[in-house]
Amino acid sequence: MKGFSALTEKPWLAMPDGSIAYDASGGTPPAQIALRFLLMVISIAFVLIFVTFLTRSQYPDFQALAGEPWLPFNQSPRLWATTAVLVAASAAMHWAWHSVKSQKPDGVMLGISVGGFLALVFIMAQWTTWIYLANLGYGVSDNPANSYFYLFTGLHALHLFGGVLAVVRVFIRIGQGCSIDQVAVAVKACTTYWHYLLALWLVLFFLLTRTPEAYALLAAACGLG
Amino acid sequence: MTHIAIADQEPELHHPRTFIGKYIWSQDHKVIAIQYACTAIFVGLVALMLSVVMRLQLGFPDQFDFINPNMYLQFVTMHGMIMVIYLLTALLLGGFGNYLIPLMVGTRDMVFPYLNMLSFWFYFLSVLVLLASFFAPGGPTGAGWTLYPPQSILEGTPGSGWGIVLMLASLAIFIIAFTMGGLNYVSTILQARTRGMTLMRMPLTIWGIFTATILGLFAFPALLVSAIMMLFDSVLGTSFFMPAIVSLGEATDYEGGSPILFQHLFWFFGHPEVYIVALPAFGMVSDVLSVHARKNIFGYRMMVWAIVIIGGLSFVVWAHHMYVSGMNPYFGFFFATTTLIIAVPTAIKVYNWVLTLWQGNIHLTVPMLFAIGFIFTFTHGGLSGLFLGNVVIDLPLSDTFFVVAHFHMVMGVSPIMVLFAAIYHWFPLVTGKQLNTRLGMIHFWGTFLGTYAIYLPMHYIGFLGVPRRYYALGDTSFIPDSAHALNANITIAVIIVALFQLIFIINLFWTIKREPKSRINPWDAASLEWHTPDVPPRHGNWGKELPTVHRWAYDYSVPGVVDDFIPQHVPDSDVTYEPGYDRTATGREST
């Protein structure tokens, strides 16, 4: 209703003197607004690739990476392990944000350090998964399912790496003597971003390790079958 | 609710002290805007030259040895891509968006000045990468600006090696630049407006830029995704879009990909892109018309809603670009219907522009002439769009010059008319000097009449069936001699129009060098950007205190008011009314 009333305001009427409302406290920080839009942008990009993935999965040459005992992700302990690392990274970032709220500088430093480090570990783990796949003969161009695996995980890792750069910046600012309040917005943004990338990874994990039958079902449900 | 603490960020402003800090690595939105504008205009002139060369070939086939079929296709591609992305999008949003947003909403700068600077340099890098393809082995890509696979990466197409890779890389860099800029624009508009600048008091220019930025943020990912996936296909040999295909007599390693998927992704970006260009132009032309007709914009709220509705609808019309690719007839019906529906809010805007002029005190200044010219060209381009939105009409016309004429009228000439209107209008704010009027008049009439000399006959030869994208028509029996003669006439008109643009460039330099300072706010505009303490505005824009907004930006010829206009920051108590005037009689009195 707030948005509706804003859009139905009568701008041709001048505001009476002294009636002009504004928020002197600052309102939602712009960084948070920008992050929300950024997450929408990233989501749109991934959703569009999901759509092409599901469409492509229904073509005869598509060979899923799970569903038969000999396929690499029929059992996927490797991916479960990387998932655990990312969950831990997300928890560490959440701890950092919690420490900001309770004004504990050591907790903030520890949280973002561990969160950033585990994100790097996750990226390295993904890299080893690529090598593992390539050594098994699942090269990037051998099959569209492989291509999508490399594409999805590569883009996800790239986004995570961007987040690590942001964490490093927070780290440097704290090192330069910025107070907790001065980095609070940045820490909150990093935490949100980490949670988002964890959620995105869970979706990717689910999508990339399905059987052909599951893809057929998903594609049909989305009207792409 | 506006957030004054965010808008008034003086302590955080980065005040440069060196030449490099001030003009190269600048974080001042105005300098960044000028950097964007100069780069965009430069690259736009390159694209203009390419179009002249293309037209020389079409008008006088086989007369010029320096144009061969490959070069023709490469020039078509680069002309289209540069004009749509690197000129129009960059100049309207990167140039005017950067300059006008903080000034019009009353803040000191963008909320992320450093990110803003990065945005420009990424854009600059994308232009360099794009232009580098002219010097790469094989030259730039000749796949057409839509870059459709499979032909864009097959050997028979010019630039299928380095050319397409550089194009895709450049697009990816451009999109990163746009995203950085776009996040800035949206956050600034939402969170950094000054006191009293409610959303519905923002000038329509800001509404246009705001909505177009959101469209860009949501649509460019489709182009980014398609560019990345095509890079995979081209460089790594994947088959996202590439089907099993024989190229130059040999079977390729590609298998099973779908070119149609690329088309969907491309046009999911491509159609909103039309409005990414059009909406800022709609906003700016509204403001120019209102100022120079000395009349408030007709139906302000309707104009805002129309901008928002057009933005929303632009995401559900994309497949009307793909009728010839083939689709389920029900889909064709759906997309034809949405395409025709989008004409409704668009028509509302056209009516409102005309009604703004109605009984206005019209000053036929150069910006006003370009703005009125826009109404003509946009209406003509829009009407031919109604033809092409229908499947049965689109199918025979889609591969002809009718389509070329249509989209050049609607998203080539029209936004460029607004760009010129905007440059002539806001030049005194940027430089403190008014562009030479006589040269401006010559520029307008040459451009306006010249573009009609180009595109009216182009519709006609399209109807005759002259196909687009062809290097030479040869002895095609169904094309009459008159079409060949018209083609030659069009080429002559193109050369003349291109020469008239030189007058504009000369005018820019002449004015900066020779013209005296103009008076502050020479058009007597009411919007906030004209009321800074210094003109051109200094870094930080607003002296010690931000202005407070008391009204909308369109208080011109207000009944009973002595002055011709009331600036946005003037409170009601400072407005002088005619003696004995009853303020409650007009319903303008606020309660």
Inter-chain residue contact A22 with B296, CB threshold 8 Å: no
How many of the other CB atoms lie within 10 Å of CB of B225? Answer: 27
Looking at CA atoms only, how far is residue A149 from chain B in angstroms? Answer: 12
Q: Which residues of B touch A42 (CB under 8 A)?
A: 221
Q: For residue A25, is pLDDT > 50?
A: yes
Inter-chain residue contact B187 with A27, CB threshold 8 Å: no
Inter-chain residue contact A144 with B240, CB threshold 8 Å: yes
Beta bridge partners of B517: B433
Instruction: Give the fold, CATH level 3, of A76-225.
Output: Four Helix Bundle (Hemerythrin (Met), subunit A) (1.20.120)
Q: For residue A1, is pLDDT > 60?
A: no
Nearest CA in chain B to A28: B191
**Residues spanned by the domain of B42:** 4-187+195-239+257-557
Average pLDDT over residues A186-208: 97
Identify the pLDDT of residue B591: 41
How far apart CA B21 and CA A101 sit, in angstroms, is 37
Q: Which residues of A touch B304 (CB under 8 A)?
A: 7
* Cα dist from A93 to A100, B70, B503, whole Å: 11, 55, 59
ipTM: 0.93
pLDDT, tens digit, 9 for 90 and up, residues A77-116: 999 999 999 999 999 999 999 999 999 999 999 999 999 9
- Residue in the block written with tokens 């309207």: B92
Inter-chain residue contact A11 with B111, CB threshold 8 Å: no
* Cα dist from B198 to A83, B50, B283, whole Å: 45, 45, 17
CATH number for B479: 1.20.210.10
Identify which of A151, A152, A161, A87 has the alpha carbon closest to the alpha carbon of residue A124.
Answer: A161
A37 near B217, Cβ under 8 Å? yes
Give the one of A22, A29, A45 whose C-beta lies nearest to B1's C-beta. A22
Give the one of A21, A52, A144 whose C-beta lies nearest to B256's C-beta. A144
Q: Is B246 a member of any domain?
A: no
B26 near A45, Cβ under 8 Å? no
Half-sphere exposure in the Cβ direction for A208 (13 Å, CA): 22
Half-sphere exposure in the Cβ direction for B1 (13 Å, CA): 11
pTM of this prediction exceeds 0.90: yes
Mutation target vs A (from B1, B2, B3, B549; most A CBs, 10 A cutoff): B3
* CB-defined contacts A:B, below 8 A: 176
Q: Is B252 a member of any domain?
A: no
pLDDT, tens digit, 9 for 90 and up, residues A130-150: 999 999 999 999 999 999 999
* Cα dist from B372 to B127, B259, B406, B424, B496, whole Å: 32, 42, 19, 14, 21
Identify the pLDDT of residue B1: 57
Nearest CA in chain A to B198: A6
Least confident range from A38-42, A44-48, B557-561: namely B557-561
Q: Is B568 a member of any domain?
A: no
Identify the pLDDT of residue A26: 62
Inter-chain residue contact A9 with B296, CB threshold 8 Å: no
Domain boundaries, chain A: 76-225
- 3-class secondary structure for chain A? CHHHHHHCCCCCCCCCCCCCCECCCCCCCHHHHHHHHHHHHHHHHHHHHHHHHHHHHCCCCCCCCCCCCCCCCCCCHHHHHHHHHHHHHHHHHHHHHHHHHCCCHHHHHHHHHHHHHHHHHHHHHHHHHHHHHHHCCCCCCCCHHHHHHHHHHHHHHHHHHHHHHHHHHHHHHHHCCCCHHHHHHHHHHHHHHHHHHHHHHHHHHHHHCCCHHHHHHHHHHCCCC
How far apart CA B505 and CA A37 sit, in angstroms, is 38
Q: Is B567 a member of any domain?
A: no
Q: Which residues of A touch B261 (CB under 8 A)?
A: 52, 55-56
Number of domains in chain B: 1
Low-confidence ranges of chain B (pLDDT < 50): 590-591
End-to-end, the C-alpha distance of chain A in Å comes to: 39
Long-range CB contacts (within 8 A, 24+) of B244-252: B245/B150, B245/B154, B247/B154, B247/B155, B247/B156, B248/B154, B248/B155, B248/B156, B252/B154
Tell me the Cα Rg of chain B. Answer: 24
Looking at CA atoms only, how far is residue A159 from chain B in angstroms? Answer: 12
